Chain A
């Protein structure tokens, strides 16, 4: 079975600072990787996904993530955050042959003025 570990439960940053949210996964088979964002009182929205090809993936709202197979990581980055990026971020993994998404425990990003 696969598993996902989000290394930070809370990340406070100041507006316009860069941010990195860390995600490591464990799987014995090939996987697809996702980052979702959840704004308060809303459902999850896909930020970006890695299926194959270039290991650097660009998503919505200026976020990007890099798939590192040797380190089994998929860290999310943004060079300059806004107040509106305050939300909870979830890393998720699915076997390429499977249907079940496995989510990490989430990272609460708080952007302060």
Chain B
């Protein structure tokens, strides 16, 4: 298995632009998680899905952030409009039946 795939690996954008991060979970996994990692706040869970349904989005910072999972093999995290404080590494992870989570390589986002 190729593991969790994220794209792009790096994204540099200007403040106010829309940013879309993509994730392909491991085939057969029924949970998908989006995390954000910064030096100041560490690893934060933003949202997670079970069987494509959002279960807990309490970690989403504000309305500028939205996430979707249209099918079992694809999820997006969108930031619109982006701000410099959104600069971070965003990780996607997937798991089977709430067992260990497998992380993708992350997307490093820089908002200028």
Contacts and interface: CB of A to CB of B under 8 A. Distances in A.
Contacts of B91: 43-44
B101 A101 contact: yes
Nearest to B6: A43
Interface residues on B, range: 20 to 34
A66 B103 CA distance: 24
A106 to B, nearest CB: 6
A106 B41 CA distance: 11
A53 interface: no
A41 to B, nearest CB: 8
Contacts of B105: 42-43
B98 A99 contact: yes
Interface of B: 4, 31, 33, 42-43, 45, 48, 50, 55-56, 91, 93, 98, 100-106
Given A42-B105, A99-B50, A99-B55, A34 B100 contact: yes
Of residues A43, A44, A99, which shows the largest number of chain B Cβ atoms within 10 Å of its Cβ? A43
Nearest to B45: A100
B103 A98 contact: no
Interface in A73-98: 90, 94, 98
Contact of B48 (A43, A46, A90, A99): A99
Of residues A42, A45, A99, which shows the largest number of chain B Cβ atoms within 10 Å of its Cβ? A99
Contacts, number: 39
A103 B50 contact: no
Nearest to B98: A99
A105 B42 contact: yes
A58 to B, nearest CB: 15
Given A90-B43, A103-B42, A98 B104 contact: no
A109 B50 CA distance: 34
A53 to B, nearest CB: 15
A105 B41 CA distance: 8
